[in-house]
Structure 1
Amino acid sequence: MKKRLIKISANTFMIIVTLIVIIGFLLAFIPARMTKAHTNKIVEMYMNDMNYDLTEFNRKWKDKIYKEELLADDGHSIPVYYIVDDKNYNNKTIVLVHWHESNHEAMYPIAEIFLEQDFNVVLYDARAHGNNTAKTVSFGYYEKEDLESVITYVNSKMTDKNIIGALGQSMGGATVGYYSGSDHAAKYLDFAIIDSGFTSMDAEIAWQIDSFFIPMPTNLLVKLGNISNNQIYGYTYEDVNILDAVKNNNIPTLIIHSKLDEKCPYYMAEQLFKVIPHNNKQLITFNNSKHLYAFWDEKEKYEDGIFTFIKNNKNKK
């Protein structure tokens, strides 16, 4: 009887260990894998939930949308959608960076508010999303390089210097934050807006694990996921550190976040804001919105906050 109990205990232990290892692997593997069909479907569902008409946007702006394919340094294609009136590329321009599991169309509602303020708008599909031909997502680590390529392209279209800004949501916000601390951003970017971003990949993964409906060994799973991520993709969770990146940020930066954000907790916005080493920064807080819903719940506050910030900081870089 005793031997049987020992055997059962040993088998149970091995099953638990195996499950934990598998979960650690899946934490690295699943979020990094996207397909065009999946991202398109998610955007369709999102727009239906928000009662937003993509067809109407395309009808209104299609004659002003110019598509370009950029070739990234590692060989994948970055589809860029440049919305410009009368081909006036010298106009002030905003680059919009979408969230995980979506594509550039997810940013159409925000594009509209900039178009109404006479901005040119540049959208693109992030790595492994939409028509981008990269195979995997890296949550800002390689995405910052795609954003750099897009900013370089936008600057190349201007024969006269004008404002170039970037706004990203969630993973897109993390990408903008990551890029904002680079020498390239210091040279070409006039302002950055981080909407509902996260501080680092390990902090975000840990938050998601802690949000599971059953208790999980968070630290162990993060370590296992980190090992798997490094073996599969060649970088660690620690490498994806937006908090460290923005310590080198020297451009006007606006952070937008809700206290009820269930995906990227509000404390991350406070941490990002705190470590930006200058005073040309602002944190706009929403109190009652879920992740990415602030734009929809309090659009006037969202819009006024953005354009007041841009107006007050346009000559402060």
Structure 2
Amino acid sequence: MKKKLIKLSSVIFIVGALLIILVGFLLAFIPARMTKIHTDKIVKLYLNDMSYDIEDFHDKCYDMIQEDELITEDGHSIPIFYLLKENTYDNKTIVLVHWHESNHKAMYPIAEFFLEQDFNVVLYDARAHGDNTAKTVTFGYYEKEDLGTVIDYVNSKMTEDNIIGALGQSMGGATVGYYSGSNHGSENLDFAIIDSGYTSMYDEIGWQIDSFFIPMPTELLTKLGNLSNNQVYGYTYKNVSIVDAMKKSSIPTLIIHSEIDKKCPYYMGKELYEAIPHDNKRLVTFNNSKHLCAFWDEQAKYEEAIISFIDEYVN
């Protein structure tokens, strides 16, 4: 009887250990893989939930859109959708960076707002999303390089100096924050807006594990996921530290975050804000909006926060 119990305990231990290792691998593999079909589906569901009409946007903005494709140094393509407010590239311009599992169409509502403010708007599909041909998502690590490529493209279209800003949501916000702390960002970006961003990939993965409906060994799984990510993709969760990058930021920055955000908790927004080493910054807090919903739930406050920030720190 004792031998059977020992044998059973050993089997349970081995199975449990294998499951934990498997979950650690999946934590690295699943979030990094996207398909065009999946991102199209998610965006359609999201905008339908918000009662937003994509076709109406196309009807209103069709004549403004200039499509292009950029080829990066590592060979993947970035589809570009350039909306020209007054049929000229020589205008103040905002680059919008979408969230994980979506594509450029998720940013249509915010694009409309900036067009109303007489900005040109640049949309693009981030790595492995939509029609971007990169194979994997890196949660800001290589996405910041793609953003830099897009910013270079915007500069190349202008014949005179103009304001260039970037706004990103969630992973897009992390990308904007990461880029804003780089030398290239400091030299080429006039302002940054980070909506619902996270502090680091390590923190975000840990938070998501803590949020599972059953208790999980968060620290162990995060370490296994970190190890798997390093083996499969060549970088670690801790390499993707937006908060460390923002300690080097020199540009005006607006942080937008909700206190009840369950995907990227509010403390992350506060830490990003506090990491910025200068005073040309602002943190705007929403109290009753879920992740990525502040624009919809309190649109007037959201838009006024952006307008007043740009008026004070940029114009």
Using the size of structure 1 for normalisation, the TM-score is 0.99
Partner of 2:135: 135
Letter of the 2:267 partner, please give it: Y
In structure 1, runs of 5+ residues without a counterpart are none
Superposed, which structure 2 residues align to 1:57-136 within 5 Å?
A: 57-136=57-136
Q: Unpaired runs of 5+ in structure 2?
A: none
Q: Distance in 1 between matches of 2:235 and 2:90?
A: 38
Cα deviations by residue, 1:203-234 (Å, 9 ceiling, x for unpaired): 00000000001100000000000010001100
1:32 is matched by which residue type in structure 2? A
1:251-300, Cα deviation, whole Å (9 max, x unpaired): 00000000000000000011111110000000000001000000000000
| Partner residue in 1 for 2:178 | 178
Please tell me whether residue 48 in structure 1 is matched to residue 16 in structure 2: no
Q: CA deviation at 1:86?
A: 4.2
Other-structure match for 1:287: 287
CA distance in 2, matches of 1:181, 1:202: 19
Instruction: Please name the residue that 1:236 is paired with.
Output: 236
Query: Does the 8 Å CA contact 2:85/2:119 hold for their aligned counterparts?
Result: no
CA drift at 1:314: 1.1
Q: Could you say what secondary structure the match of 1:87 adopts?
A: coil
Cα displacement (A) at 1:38: 0.3
Counterpart amino acid of residue 152 in structure 1: D
Amino acid at match of 1:298: E
Give the whole-Å Cα distance in 2 for the aligned partners of 1:262 and 1:85.
Answer: 36
Q: Which amino acid aligns with 2:183?
A: D
SS in 2 for 1:78: strand
d(CA) in 1 for partners of 2:120, 2:39: 25
- Tell me if structure 1 keeps the 8 A contact 2:273–2:281: yes
What's 1:278 paired with? 278
Aligned to 1:34: 34
Take 1:51 and 1:288, find their aligned partners in 2: how far apart are those partners?
19
Q: Which runs of 4+ in 1 moved over 2 A?
A: none
SS at structure 2 position matched to 1:193: strand
Percent of aligned positions with the same letter in both sequences? 70
SS of equivalent residue, structure 1 residue 46: helix
Q: Secondary structure at the match of 2:247?
A: helix
Give yes or no for the alignment of 1:167 onto 2:167: yes
Q: Distance in 2 between matches of 1:227 and 1:18?
A: 15
CA-CA distance at 1:87 after TM superposition: 3.0
How many residue pairs align between the two structures?
Answer: 315
SS at match of 2:289: coil
Q: For 2:97 and 2:300, how far apart are their aligned partners in 1?
A: 21
* 1:147-169 deviations in Å (ceiling 9; x for gaps): 00000000111111010000000
AA paired with 2:208? Q
**Separation in structure 1 between the aligned mates of residue 165 and residue 307 of structure 2, nearest angstrom:** 12
Cα distance, 1:85 vs structure 2: 3.1
Looking at structure 1, the residues matched to 62 and 149 of structure 2 have their Cα atoms a distance apart, in angstroms, of: 24
> What is the distance in 2 between the residues matched to 1:85 and 1:120?
5
Query: What is the RMSD computed on CA atoms of the aligned residues?
Result: 0.6
Q: What amino acid is aligned across from residue 128 of structure 2 in structure 1? A: A
Counterpart CA distance in 1 for 2:88 and 2:118 is 11
Q: Give the AA of the match of 2:268.
A: M
Structure 2 counterpart of 1:248, one-letter code: K
Give the secondary-structure state (helix, strand or coil) at the position aligned to 1:85.
Answer: coil
Deviations 1:133-184 (A, max 9, x none): 0011000000000000000000111111010000000000000000000111
- In structure 1, the partner of 2:25 is 25
Q: Aligned partner of 1:29: which letter?
A: F
- Hey, what's the Cα distance between the residues in 2 that align with 1:288 and 1:186? 33
For the Cα contact (< 8 Å) 2:85–2:115, is it kept in 1? Answer: no
The DSSP-based 3-state class of the residue aligned with 1:167 is: strand
1:217 paired to 2:223: no
Q: Which residue of 2 is the match for residue 262 of structure 1?
A: 262
Q: Distance in 1 between matches of 2:85 and 2:181?
A: 31
